[in-house]
């Protein structure tokens, strides 16, 4: 790393130098989230906007030099170049991701000092993005929303700051109050629907201006936040239905209500036909209806994954990063399993036992998907977040537990059932392998699932109870050691891990809940509930093309002056942020000097 730090990023002649340095420093991260940016090539055709950006990069090569400064962890030079970059908001978020990835590499190399430097530099860029967002919202709220949704090219990655924050779990940025206010307005479609919505009409304004007692009353926009509940949705419908029916029906809150209605109905019908009406010789109507619901849900997930951006370009990185979300994975798994089971039932009814198993797993996953909508509630959302975070610790615990289970199970089987085959010729489900795993697994919970007894009084008096096979003396010794390690040691360790994780999440619960709340709202901003997406997705695609796709004849190209003003504002506020940081450093320096002087005297 020290050899790279001697390079001065101000005088770069080779335009490919940043890419080469990134590949060198971020080597081995192609299958991580940051690898979706550094290793995946963009598969899109250049357009007029790219040519304009290329011309701008020739005159102002700030982005390339900034990228090198970030990769080399030159904080002062990066700060100087950041406020001159073409898009400071997106650049700050991407810089934090690069630095976080480099910190993870240094952790693997046991370079603790470098790791701390990279992490502190990454946090600094995130705080800059947050401060920039604050200043933009204070100055011009509509412009700030445009900045969050603006799809731009930064370091060969094309995305909007808002989607980037969700893709890389930048909780500090997404959970900020400015983003949460914006999410509430998106949730109830305030952005356009209520710009002209006022509490008092023009006549009341004239009356209020004449009356001295009413001088304090002013016309204010309807920015009150409805509660996230059924009563809040009814209040929203009551206030906005007569003004704009389309905006009311396409609001995310309305989509979530329809999604829950269809989802819970499908869940009830699915449970009913799986327990009572699943037959081998016929496919009933409920099974067909649920198939169409699952097909629509799968198509909607695919659309969310491959949906073109607001310049009608496709992002391969978004397709991969979409799968990293556990809720998206559950959606894909549930729909795919049901469609697979339905096709098996349609083609070969003799596989009814396998079909029932596939349907059962799909139903179980479908119940888990219901937890996603509960994230909107703060009370339930924090509990679900704790479960999700603790699941990571549980997976680590299970890996160690499986090693102990296999060790004890093989020893049990070898001594209790000597010379037995591991696999029976009849079927896989009757394999001896399940016996090897079953006995030690249930012993962890203090239960005996063997169906036999070593007590002579029991098996002499009860003919249905079989006598357990007796083995060598080594079996109870191994069992004692196994029970001591699992019941005493491992279980207490996992309880301690859960307690530590619980405390960590509780200390940061507000930020995490805000992040997941924003994620759910953003998902339903473009999603159409199944099965309504079958007819309405066609109209939505046409509208999307006319609004964002430049190849459509009805496309209205946005004004270039608006983007220029937005970028100038970003650069202006970014410059102020850097000036404030340097002023704060000077104050801290003076304080340290005075403290040293006091200690000497």
Kindly report, residue by residue over 444-469, the tens digit of the pLDDT: 777 665 566 666 566 556 655 555 65
What tokens does 111 get? 């370079």
User: What is the pLDDT averaged over residues 129-147?
Assistant: 87
Most trustworthy range by pLDDT among 292-306, 459-473, 557-571: 292-306
pLDDT at 553: 47
pLDDT at 507: 82
- pLDDT over 60 (residue 363): yes
Average pLDDT of the chain to the nearest whole number: 75
Q: List Cβ neighbours of 272 (8 Å cut-off, separation of 6 or more).
A: 286
Is residue 337 within 8 Å of residue 362, measured between CB atoms? yes
- Give the whole-angstrom CA distance, residue 282 versus residue 90: 55
pLDDT tops 80 at residue 295: yes
Confidence at residue 1, expressed as pLDDT on a 0 to 100 scale: 42
**What mean pLDDT do residues 273-293 have?**
85
Answer yes or no: is pLDDT of 425 > 70.
Answer: no
Confidence of residue 294 (pLDDT cuts 50, 70, 90): very high
**Cβ–Cβ < 8 Å for 569, 139:** yes
Among all chains, which residue has been given the structure tokens 């930048």? Answer: 170
Which of 49-63, 128-142, 283-297, 338-352 comes out lowest in average pLDDT?
Answer: 49-63
- What pLDDT does residue 51 have? 45
> CB-based burial of residue 483 (10 Å sphere; 0-12 exposed, 13-18 middle, 19+ buried)?
middle
Mean pLDDT for 51-79 is 68
At 310 the three-state DSSP class reads: coil
pLDDT band, very low/low/confident/very high, at 18 (cuts 50, 70, 90): low
For 567-574, what is the mean pLDDT? 86
Q: Is the pLDDT of residue 12 over 70?
A: no
Q: Above 50 in pLDDT, residue 221?
A: no
- What is the tens place of the pLDDT at every residue in 369-394? 888 888 888 888 888 888 888 888 88
Measured distance CA(420)–CA(139) in Å, rounded: 78
Return all residues near 58 (Cβ < 8 A) that are at least 6 apart.
none
Span 9-13, average pLDDT: 49
Query: Is the model's pLDDT at 3 over the cut of 60?
Result: no
Q: How far apart, in Å, do the first and last CA atoms of the chain sit?
A: 42
In order of 14, 102, 262, the CA distances from 41 in angstroms are 19, 20, 39
Q: What is the pLDDT of residue 262?
A: 93
Element (H, E) at 150: none
What's the pTM? 0.74
Is the pLDDT at 434 greater than 80, yes or no? no
The whole-number pLDDT of residue 563 equals 75
H-run or E-run covering 154? strand 152-154
pLDDT value, residue 276: 82
State the pLDDT at residue 60. 40
**Residues β-bridged to residue 453:** 467
């Amino acid at each position: 790393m020290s050899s790279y730090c001697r390079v001065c990023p101000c005088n770069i002649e080779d335009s490919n130098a940043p890419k080469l340095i990134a590949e060198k420093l971020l080597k081995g991260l192609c299958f991580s989230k940051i690898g979706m940016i550094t290793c995946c090539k963009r598969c899109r055709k250049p357009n007029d906007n790219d040519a304009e950006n290329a011309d701008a990069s020739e005159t102002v090569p700030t982005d390339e030099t900034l990228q090198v400064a970030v990769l080399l962890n030159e904080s002062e030079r990066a700060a100087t170049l950041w406020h001159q970059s073409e898009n400071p908001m997106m650049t700050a978020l991407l810089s934090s991701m690069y630095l976080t990835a480099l910190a993870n590499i240094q952790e693997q190399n046991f370079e603790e000092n470098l790791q701390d430097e990279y992490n502190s530099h990454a946090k600094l860029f995130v705080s800059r993005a947050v401060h920039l967002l604050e200043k933009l919202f204070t100055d011009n709220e509509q412009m700030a929303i445009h900045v969050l949704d603006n799809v731009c090219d930064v370091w060969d990655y094309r995305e909007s700051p808002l989607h980037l924050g969700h893709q890389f779990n930048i909780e500090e940025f997404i959970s900020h109050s400015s983003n949460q206010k914006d999410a509430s307005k998106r949730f109830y479609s305030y952005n356009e629907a209520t710009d002209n919505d006022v509490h008092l009409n023009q006549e009341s304004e004239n009356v209020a201006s004449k009356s001295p007692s009413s001088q304090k009353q002013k016309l204010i926009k309807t920015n009150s936040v409805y509660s996230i509940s059924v009563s809040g949705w009814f209040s929203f419908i009551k206030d906005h239905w007569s003004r704009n029916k389309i905006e009311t029906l396409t609001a995310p809150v309305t989509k979530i209500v329809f999604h829950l209605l269809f989802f819970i109905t499908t869940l009830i019908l699915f449970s009913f036909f799986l327990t009572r009406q699943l037959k081998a010789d016929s496919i009933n109507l409920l099974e067909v209806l649920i198939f169409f619901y699952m097909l629509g849900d799968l198509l909607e997930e695919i659309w969310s994954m491959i949906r073109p951006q607001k310049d009608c370009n496709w992002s391969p990185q978004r397709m991969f990063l979409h799968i990293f979300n556990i809720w998206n994975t559950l959606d894909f798994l549930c729909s795919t399993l049901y469609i697979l089971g339905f096709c098996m039932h349609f083609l070969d009814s003799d596989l009814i036992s396998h079909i029932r198993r596939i349907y059962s797993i799909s139903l179980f996953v479908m119940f888990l998907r219901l937890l996603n909508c509960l994230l909107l509630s703060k009370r339930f959302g924090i509990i679900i977040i704790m479960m999700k975070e603790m699941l990571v610790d549980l997976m680590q615990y299970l890996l160690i537990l499986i090693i102990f289970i296999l060790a004890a199970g093989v020893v049990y089987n070898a001594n209790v059932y000597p010379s037995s085959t591991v696999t029976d010729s009849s079927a896989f489900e009757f394999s001896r392998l399940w016996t090897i795993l079953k006995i030690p697994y249930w012993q962890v919970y203090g239960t005996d699932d063997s169906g036999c007894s070593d007590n002579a009084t029991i098996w002499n008096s009860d003919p249905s109870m079989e006598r357990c096979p007796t083995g060598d003396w080594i079996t109870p010794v191994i069992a004692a050691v196994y029970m001591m390690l699992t019941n005493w040691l491992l279980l207490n360790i996992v309880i301690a891990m859960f307690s530590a994780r619980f405390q960590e999440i509780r200390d940061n619960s507000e930020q995490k809940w805000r992040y997941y709340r924003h994620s759910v709202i953003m998902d339903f901003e473009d999603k159409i509930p199944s099965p309504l997406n079958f007819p309405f997705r066609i109209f939505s695609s046409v509208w999307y093309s006319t609004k964002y796709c430049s190849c459509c004849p009805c496309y209205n190209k946005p004004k270039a002056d608006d983007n220029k003003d937005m970028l100038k504002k970003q650069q202006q506020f970014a410059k102020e942020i850097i000036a404030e940081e340097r002023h704060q450093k000077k104050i801290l320096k003076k304080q340290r000097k005075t403290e040293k002087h006091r200690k000497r005297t």
